[in-house]
Chains A and B, each alone.
Chain A
Amino acid sequence: MTGGIDPIRRVSILGAGRVGTALARTLVDAGYQVTLAGSGDPEAVEMIAAFTAPGARARWARDATSDADLVVLALPLHRLPSLDPTILADRVVVDAMNYWPPVDGIIARFEGARHGTSIEVRDVLGLDRLVKTFNHTGYHDLEPDRRERGHPDRLGMAVAGDDADDVAAVVEVVERIGYDAVALQRLEFGRLIQPGGAIFGARPTADDIRRTLRPLIQRAA
């Protein structure tokens, strides 16, 4: 047992697009209580949730995060400034986002993000409990690629964060939805799993992730 923080039960997803709804379906399926919030009124998200993520509840972002054990950021990165960081204070927050110029436009801050985009997200929002995961799989692969524990074809998912307890809590979520989690004990290793990195979109196993990232991590150390 890691035992650092209580197991996660309530998950709040910010962003009701492709990624947010795919994550919502997956988490509902794994037995989590899921709320989904868009950029405004939950009424707009309610219909999206009803059809694309049945079982997830639409709420205002502020209400959804207030009692969440885990908040997942699944909005387009260029919308980040629209987020009120105070609603994320003291929460374990997952960054499932990628910097995607075709959708985000060119954003200097992320273009020059030497330590990875999650470090910038952390600094922009003033977060201290940020964990990066879910981002290196395609939103349309997330569900079909799930496998039960012990399945020979079970794929891996990297989980990068600075706080060991927070990483452990997110690792448990990843394991429960259907992937072998590989913990990376620094948020800046998130740069290794973002677009352009060796495992991005590669559908790797946990061994693939360890084998690919170990030399890169050793070099960084």
Chain B
Amino acid sequence: MSDPRPGALHFGIGTFAFQYDDAHGDPVPGSQVLRDVVEEAVAAEQAGLDSFGIAEHYRRGMMDSAAPVVLAAIASRTQTLRLGTAVTVLSTQDPVRVYNEFATLDAVSAGRAQMIVGRGSAIESFPLFGFDLADYEALFDEKLDLLMRLLRDQPVTWAGRFRPPLTDQVLEPPVAAGAIPVWAGVGGSPQSVIRAARFGLPLMFGVIGGPLSRFVGLSRLFRQAAAEFGQVEQPVGIHAHGYLADTDEEAIEAFWPVWSGMMNAEAPKRGWAPYRRDRFDADIAAGSLLVGSAETVAHRLATGMQLVGATRFDFVAAGSRMAHADKLDSIRRFGTEVVPRVRALLDPSPTERAAR
């Protein structure tokens, strides 16, 4: 089973489960943030969206440290929504445990589990779980190999550097080979793109800025590499942040303090210079930050997806940093106003097609 099929459009919501301040400026308790995430997922399904994805971090103010648990809660409140991650930091997890959790999630949700796996750009999980950053690349290669074997071809006999070997191992609950879609999340490294092609995985570009055009060559590279590895062609997706409001101006002014605050909190940790308004405006114009009215965002998104050859888009509504009500509002606007417009722009009706 291949899902989503190449060519079929897929629109999801992503979240980092950021803690936010209430109307009095006090931080909302983390437990409440997680219950809000469940409500946001329910809203995503009601707005007609295809999937909901939770990130993985281990830092103050971010509640996304145990995605499968939250996804299981969402499963009990939804019927059609696919439940996934964005991303699972596979480098510092045990693929056996990841299998256990997602096979269980797939069971309780009647086949709705999916995931995006990546190396992660945040590194807190390395010291936390006792891994050495020097093994950054080797860890991911080995763990992806084991996870894909567990998902595709049990019983598994396997040996590697980072966990005990497996001999004729069968894990429960069972999952049909390939039934849980696994996407490879990449930030733009050609080597990561080729790795995804080698494993025959669909490819998700994580975008935090810069022109989308930089993914065009990588997207072509992915398709060519998959063909050379003898793999079936797999879809390409884009994961990006944004905020929707009635007008472009309203959305831009409301999102600027949120996004610049987020980037500038990260800047000293990563040696970045302060994030400036000219960059923000450029990222919005280039379609790597989807901020504006539904109509504006729909056009930028359709253009961006076409440019990159993407059929999936995951929207991190309100940068996932704004208040619950703002996130709900952006999720609803995205599902009910942006997505139908993008679908129409990307996939015209047969009559329109015939007229071309």
Residues of A within 8 A of B (CB): 16-18, 21-22, 44, 47-48, 50-54, 78, 98, 101-106, 138-141, 143-144, 194-203
Contact = CB atoms under 8 A, between A and B. Distances in A.
Most B CB atoms within 10 A — which of A17, A53, A54?
A17
A139 B276 CA distance: 18
Contact of A106 (B133, B187, B274): B133
Interface in B287-305: none
Interface string B197-228: 00000000000011100100110110011001
B133 A101 contact: yes
A195 B271 CA distance: 4
Contact of B211 (A106, A140, A200, A201): A140
B30 interface: no
Contact of B190 (A48, A144, A202): A48
B221 A48 contact: yes
A201 B221 contact: no
A104 B123 CA distance: 11
B255 to A, nearest CB: 20
A103 to B, nearest CB: 6
Contact of B228 (A47, A195, A199, A203): A47
Contacts of A201: 271-273
Interface in B20-66: none
A18 B133 contact: no
Pick the 5 closest A-B CB pairs, nearest first: A195-B271, A202-B273, A140-B210, A105-B133, A105-B134
B270 A140 contact: no
B211 A198 contact: no
Question: What is the interface residue range for chain B against chain A?
Answer: 35 or more
Contacts of A17: 189-191
A108 to B, nearest CB: 12
A138 B194 contact: no
B271 A47 contact: no
B136 interface: yes
Given A18-B188, A200-B272, A52 B210 contact: no
B274 A202 contact: yes
A196 B271 CA distance: 4
Interface centre among B135, B190, B214, B282, by most A CB within 10 Å? B190
A195 B270 contact: yes
B95 to A, nearest CB: 22
A111 B178 CA distance: 44
Contacts of A138: 210
A48 B194 contact: yes
B211 A47 contact: no
Contacts of B352: none
Interface string B101-145: 000000000000000000001110000000011111000000000
The binding surface of chain A is classed by DSSP as: loop
Nearest to B268: A196
B97 interface: no
Contacts of B271: 98, 194-197, 200-201
Contact of A47 (B121, B123, B189, B225): B225
Nearest to A38: B191
B272 A47 contact: no
B279 interface: yes
A194 B220 CA distance: 33
Contacts of A203: 273, 276, 278-279
A141 B278 CA distance: 13
A47 B273 contact: no
Contacts of B279: 203
B190 A16 contact: yes
Given A200-B273, A202-B273, A202-B274, A51 B133 contact: no
A51 B189 contact: no
A16 B194 CA distance: 12
A47 B270 contact: no
Contacts of B191: 16-17, 48
A141 B218 contact: no
A106 B123 CA distance: 12
Nearest to A107: B134
Nearest to A98: B271
A43 B273 CA distance: 37
A109 to B, nearest CB: 13
Nearest to A204: B273
Contacts of B136: 103, 105
A154 B274 CA distance: 19
A202 B211 CA distance: 17
7 contacts: A47-B221, A51-B221, A101-B123, A105-B133, A196-B271, A201-B272, A203-B279
Contacts of A51: 217-218, 220-221, 224
Contact of B221 (A52, A143, A144): A52
